[in-house]
Structure 1
Amino acid sequence: MLKGKLEDGPYTLAGNTIAGSANASTVQLSNDDNARLWYMRLGHMSACGLEMLTNRNLLKGEKISTLEFCDHCVLGKQKKVSFSTGKHKTGGVLDYIHSDLWGPFKLPSKGGKRYLLTFIDDISQKVWVRFLKAKSDAFEAFKEW
């Protein structure tokens, strides 16, 4: 049996609440509820870890049975899928160009430009930069380049 104010924490347990100036709650926990409570308190520890703590008499209660499926654990243990490296064959200079459009910048330049268009050659790594007043000027700058 647990005593204290359990409704303040991030987890709520079903039980009896005593109203009055004592402001205390009592909850009768089953073995599965006890396991679930410690599972959440210990940061979603594995069932093997909880069983090990119980065997060392660090957790009060009977043997901990298997825990229910936890969506939070599955989402927390997901890994990002890495991108494969791009494979392209470039024979020479200007065969493969990387381009990027930056902006709008909060403060325009002295000439009133708020966007930046870059062209980078894959082989030579040469960079060409064009400053633009509007995003719609990008295609004209590309044709001019």
Structure 2
Amino acid sequence: MLDSIDCEYKGKEGYCEVLKNTKPILRGVKINGVYIVQGVQKMHSTLVVIQKQPTEGNLWHKRLPHINAKGLQALANRGILPKGIHQSLSFCEHCVTGKATRQSFVKAQHTTKAILNYVHSDL
């Protein structure tokens, strides 16, 4: 996405920068394995940025494909994750929309008065 607007990525030693025409437009610092954006310069196109710092529980929730609190607690009991990590989970919109179901269509009423008034074909 960034290369489509002629941007360049540069990163080392726990920080990253996105440059456009050698001018920095976005900077981030690496915290718990995730780059947290420190500053954004407005451009003609839209940039999406997370403003608040995620908790360690939310990071593991996203790293382990949206695992629930019981799953995080089970991993913590085995010593794989830190104790009490499941208590810092917050609301995840992606989990809610992923569990949503579609509504079925209402059955239609077809009334015909003569032969071949209603023809169904499968192409």
User: What TM-score bracket applies, with the shorter chain setting the length?
Assistant: 0.3 to 0.5
Normalised to the residue count of structure 2, the TM-score between the two structures is: 0.48
Which of the two has higher C-alpha Rg?
Answer: 1
Q: TM-score, normalised by structure 1?
A: 0.42
